[in-house]
Amino acid sequence: MGRVFVTGSTDGLGLAAARSLARAGHEVVLHARSRQRADAVSRLLPDARHVVIGDLSNANDVRSLASQVNDIGRMNAIIHNAGVYLQPDRGTTAEGHATTIAVNTLAPYMLTALIERPDRLVYLSSGMHRSGDSSLSDIDWQTRRWQASTAYSESKLHVAALAFAFARLWPDTLSNAVDPGWVPTKMGGPSATDDLEMGHQTQVWLAVQDDREAMTSGGYWYHRQHQQPSPAVRDVRFQDSLIQRLAEMTGVTLK
């Protein structure tokens, strides 16, 4: 049995994944944005061994989260599930970043860099990443007019590219991206038409299963089937430029 950290595990796909892992006997480390949400998820999933707390839109909280996870011990797998969807405006974090980029791109990058390297990394992307702009000239929406859908698509392009970059840079770690589909969670809404069960089970499968397909790296998955991502995801120059830009924005470099 493995120890698995799941970000954004108080509801939706993250909670579903955490429940599935706990039922299978894995040691689950939950993540909540606040103490109130941590107390709520502890009641929902009493079998979870640990809950770490931190707001992913705040860089100091992200650093604290990484320390909390490292204090627990080395993770076998990390599922970067947390994210925000269509934000009504750019917003401004404590560091001056757009909320969407802070939560969906900067936080998973920082956590990956700061947490002791696990055996497996799983990043939640989206089919919307294919409409994301691979230009990094205004990644933080400082000059462009805010477009919520475009910002979300770009952030999901970023995390997919990070998954492929880490598969290349860290050959001893299995790293993959997952498109869960349009599923009926609080984020997806009640009109969503995709399979919620397959949406979270693909994450779980890549995080802990030992069959041949799950033990591969550098894949983009939808319902346990390989899909072709945007060409930018596989572009090594884009991957390296993205990592360099994120390091500049966060002050955190990969080890």
Closest-CA residue to 183 (of 172, 175, 192, 174): 192
Which of 156, 186, 220, 255 is catalytic? The answer is 156
Closest-CA residue to 103 (of 121, 88, 118, 81): 81
Strand, helix or coil for residue 78: strand
Which of 109, 123, 152, 222 is catalytic? The answer is 152
* Neighbour count for residue 236 (Cβ, 10 Å): 11
Per the structure block, which two tokens stand in for 48?
């979870």
Helices marked H in the chain = 12-23, 35-44, 59-72, 99-101, 107-114, 148-169, 196-208, 231-234, 236-250
- Angle 168-182-3 from CA coordinates, rounded to 5°: 50
Question: Active site includes 152?
Answer: yes
* Neighbour count for residue 210 (Cβ, 10 Å): 6
Q: % helix / strand / coil in the chain, to the nearest 5?
A: 45, 15, 40
Question: Active site includes 222?
Answer: no
| Catalytic site positions | 152, 156
